[in-house]
């Protein structure tokens, strides 16, 4: 793209370019389908210049909702050989075909933001989707927290959206790779440098979970109880808590006190549940393996989302803000997906170190709301500078700002428009 085009115009052009008609792909070739949280953030970007297109993005996403309420993490609108694992591996038996698990539930919060910044038409579109939104939140509470502990589990690292974060190594180590899995025809490493992607061993385990899922016909209670992987993800937990809070506000707006009360009771239980994945050693909320009880060992960008959900008591929040500050002090660009002071940090490998605009947006929003305006501004500035330095990449090296992974990336462009500009 020409250097003479402003970054704002480039971001708009990227959203238009990745538009496949009613939905956007995260980027051409590497991710040729509709992804759940990418789409929701895309809507926030579209909302800055095309309200109708913004709502369409979320409406198309909900057109792939399962009967039980789940919104799948990938919707395969048109089969595309550029991506593995495609619909034939997931065997979802739905129309349109989709993957078999979800992703961070960020739609309620985006819909509330779009309604607050919009007019009567925005309100109408939000109200029309509301029932589906409620069904999705109910699904999360029922199937991802079957014992009503206040804490939801994820059944696959992909459900967290933070695919290969060291957090998941704990649960992944316990997975036995079936003998009949064969050689995986990976496509991602034909599009981007393999050193910026998950390893072969990780992919075998990712697919082992998919196999368990389709073999039990995506029976989500069975998967939560007996599946190969079940861990707490602070990102999903905090996105859901924030989403429940925003869902309650939407319910209030639409005159539905019963649903507001339901969402508030989820939130109350969740606030109590958060104590179970607080790590005093780390000074923050961390991932936790629900099978063995093991806590992860380092502070991540998901840990830094605690304020966005208003999780923790005053002492815990003060402590985690100290960690956030200390980590930002060792980076040129925040917020890294793994603590740079830890030996497992890899500045260029995907969710094991690099920074991600969408997570920065949620962290920054939480910091600003809880009175840490200077930190929030710093993070917003870093998010903008990374794009100024390298362009609209999928993720960035926190030490150098080098752009990594896919180029001309939808959610990086969307967050630039909606927040970082
Ligand atoms: C990445 O995940 C997909 C699997 O879902 C992949 O690597 O194939 C993650 O960064 C995820 O958070 C994101 O939604 C997706 C599309 O951008 O890519």
* 166 — pLDDT class (breaks 50, 70, 90): very high
Task: Output the residue whose Cα is nearest ligand 1's atom 11.
Answer: 161
Percent of the residues in the chain that have a pLDDT greater than 90, as a whole number:
98
> Does the annotation mark 145 as catalytic?
no
In ligand 1, which atom is closest to the CA atom of 198? 7
Among 24, 25, 28, 31, name the best residue to mutate to test ligand 1's pocket (greatest count of ligand atoms within 8 A of Cβ): 31
Token pair, residue 133, equals 């939104």
Structural domains in the chain plus CATH codes: 12-309 (1.50.10.10)
Q: Name 74's bridge partners.
A: 35
Q: What is the 3-state secondary structure (H, E, C) of 365-396?
A: HHHHHCCCHHHHHHHHHHHHHHHHHHCCCCEE
Instruction: Give 262 Cα–ligand 1 centroid separation in angstroms.
Output: 31
Distance, in Å, from the CA atom of 115 to the CA atom of 123, rounded to the nearest integer, reads 5
Residues 41-53: b if buried by 16+ CB within 10 A, e if exposed = bbbbbbbbebbeb
Alpha-carbon Rg of the chain, whole angstroms? 20
Task: Output the residue whose Cα is nearest ligand 1's atom 9.
Answer: 161
In ligand 1, which atom is closest to the CA atom of 74? 5
Instruction: Give 347 Cα–ligand 1 centroid separation in angstroms.
Output: 18
Q: What is the mean pLDDT of residues 71-82?
A: 96
Q: What is the mean pLDDT of residues 148-165?
A: 98
Whether residue 63 has a cis bond before it, omega within 30° of 0: no
Q: What is the mean pLDDT of residues 6-16?
A: 98
Q: What are phi and psi of 164, to 5 degrees?
A: -110, 25
Q: What are phi and psi of 94, to 5 degrees?
A: -125, 160
Q: What is the mean pLDDT of residues 264-277?
A: 98
22 φ/ψ sector (left φ>0, alpha ψ -120 to 50, else beta): left
Residue 322 in this model has a pLDDT that exceeds 70: yes
Residue 36 in this model has a pLDDT that exceeds 60: yes
Distances in Å between the Cα of 215 and the Cα atoms of 90, 219, 223 are 10, 9, 10
Ligand 1 pocket at CB < 6 A: 26, 31, 35, 37-38, 73, 158, 161, 163, 188
* 6 — pLDDT class (breaks 50, 70, 90): very high
Among 32, 82, 107, 161, name the best residue to mutate to test ligand 1's pocket (greatest count of ligand atoms within 8 A of Cβ): 161
Q: Would you state the pLDDT for residue 235?
A: 98
Lowest mean pLDDT among 177-186, 318-327, 407-416: 177-186
Q: Would you state the pLDDT for residue 2?
A: 52
CA proximity to 376, closest of 337, 324, 318, 341: 324
Per-state percent for the chain, helix, strand, coil, to nearest 5:
55, 5, 40
Q: Of these residues, 38, 289, 394, 397, which one is catalytic?
A: 394
Task: Output the residue whose Cα is nearest ligand 1's atom 13.
Answer: 161
* 3 — pLDDT class (breaks 50, 70, 90): low
Q: What is the DSSP string of 308-348?
A: GGT-S-HHHHHHHHHHHHHHHHT-SS--BSS-TTSTT--TT
Task: Quote the crossing angle between the two packed helices 234-253 and 107-116, to the nearest 10°.
Answer: 40
**Can you say how many angstroms the Cα of residue 78 is from the centroid of all Cα atoms in its chain?**
23
Q: What is the DSSP string of 203-230?
A: HHHHHHHHHHHHHTTT-HHHHHHHSS--
Distance, in Å, from the CA atom of 16 to the CA atom of 411, rounded to the nearest integer, reads 12
> Does the annotation mark 272 as catalytic?
no
Q: What is the mean pLDDT of residues 175-181?
A: 91
Among 18, 26, 40, name the best residue to mutate to test ligand 1's pocket (greatest count of ligand atoms within 8 A of Cβ): 26
Q: Would you state the pLDDT for residue 182?
A: 85
In ligand 1, which atom is closest to the CA atom of 406? 17
Q: What is the mean pLDDT of residues 38-50?
A: 98
Under DSSP, the state recorded for 92 is -
In ligand 1, which atom is closest to the CA atom of 38? 14
Q: Is 418 exposed, middle or buried (0-12, 13-18, 19+ CB in 10 A)?
A: buried
Sign of the dihedral through C-alpha 175, 160, 281, 294? negative
The predicted complex's ipTM stands at 0.99
CA proximity to 196, closest of 360, 406, 411: 406
Q: Would you state the pLDDT for residue 1?
A: 53
pLDDT tens string 363-377: 999 999 999 999 999
Under DSSP, the state recorded for 279 is E
Token look-up 């501004």 returns 377
Half-sphere exposure of 29 (CA within 13 A, CB side): 10
Distance, in Å, from the CA atom of 11 to the CA atom of 331, rounded to the nearest integer, reads 25
Residues 57-63: contacts with CB within 8 Å, 24+ apart?
57/22, 57/23, 57/24, 58/107, 58/110, 58/111, 58/129, 59/22, 59/125, 59/129, 60/22, 60/23, 60/34, 61/23, 61/34, 61/36, 61/107, 62/129, 62/132, 62/133, 63/96
Q: Is 127 exposed, middle or buried (0-12, 13-18, 19+ CB in 10 A)?
A: middle
Instruction: Give 38 Cα–ligand 1 centroid separation in angstroms.
Output: 9
Residue 78 in this model has a pLDDT that exceeds 90: yes
Percent of the residues in the chain that have a pLDDT greater than 70, as a whole number:
99
Q: Would you state the pLDDT for residue 26?
A: 98
Token look-up 């591996």 returns 89
Q: Of these residues, 80, 127, 163, 310, which one is catalytic?
A: 163
pLDDT, mean over the chain: 97
Q: What are phi and psi of 300, to 5 degrees?
A: -125, 180
Task: Output the residue whose Cα is nearest ligand 1's atom 17.
Answer: 26
Q: What is the mean pLDDT of residues 94-98?
A: 97
């Amino acid at each position: 793209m020409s250097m003479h085009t402003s970054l704002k115009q480039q971001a708009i052009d990227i959203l238009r370019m990745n538009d496949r008609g009613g939905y956007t792909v995260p980027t051409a070739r590497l991710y040729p389908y509709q992804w759940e949280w990418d789409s929701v953030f895309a809507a926030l970007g579209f909302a800055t210049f095309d309200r109708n297109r913004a709502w369409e993005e979320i409406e198309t996403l909900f057109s792939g909702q399962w009967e039980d309420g789940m919104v799948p993490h990938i919707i395969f609108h048109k089969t595309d050989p550029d991506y593995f694992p495609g619909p034939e591996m997931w065997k979802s038996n739905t129309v349109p075909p989709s993957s078999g698990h979800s992703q961070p539930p960020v739609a309620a919060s985006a819909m509330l933001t779009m309604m607050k910044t919009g007019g009567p038409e925005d309100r109408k579109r939000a109200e029309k989707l509301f029932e589906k939104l409620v069904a999705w939140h109910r699904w999360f509470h029922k199937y991802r927290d079957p014992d009503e502990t206040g804490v939801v589990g994820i059944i696959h690292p992909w459900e967290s959206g933070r695919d290969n974060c060291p957090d998941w190594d704990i649960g992944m180590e316990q997975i036995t790779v079936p003998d009949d899995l064969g050689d995986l025809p990976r496509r991602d490493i034909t599009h981007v440098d393999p050193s910026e992607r998950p390893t072969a061993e990780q992919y075998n385990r990712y697919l082992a979970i998919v196999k368990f899922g389709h073999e039990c016909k995506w029976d989500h209670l069975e998967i939560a109880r007996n599946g190969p992987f079940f861990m707490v993800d602070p990102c999903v937990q905090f996105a859901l808590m924030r989403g429940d809070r925003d869902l309650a506000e939407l319910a209030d707006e639409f005159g539905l006190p019963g649903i507001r009360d339901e969402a508030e009771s989820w939130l109350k239980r969740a606030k109590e549940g958060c104590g179970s994945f607080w790590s005093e050693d780390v000074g923050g909320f961390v991932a936790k393996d629900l099978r063995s009880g093991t806590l992860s060992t380092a502070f991540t960008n998901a840990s830094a989302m605690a304020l966005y959900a208003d999780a923790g008591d005053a002492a815990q929040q003060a402590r985690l803000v100290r960690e956030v500050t200390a980590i930002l002090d060792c980076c040129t660009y925040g917020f890294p997906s793994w603590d740079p002071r830890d030996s497992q940090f890899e500045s260029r490998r995907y969710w094991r170190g690099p920074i991600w605009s969408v997570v920065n947006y949620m962290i920054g929003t939480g910091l600003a709301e809880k009175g840490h305006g200077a930190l929030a501004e710093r993070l917003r500035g870093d998010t903008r500078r990374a794009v100024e330095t390298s362009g609209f990449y999928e993720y960035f090296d926190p030490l150098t700002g080098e752009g990594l992974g896919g180029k001309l990336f939808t959610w990086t462009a969307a967050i630039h428009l909606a927040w970082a500009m």
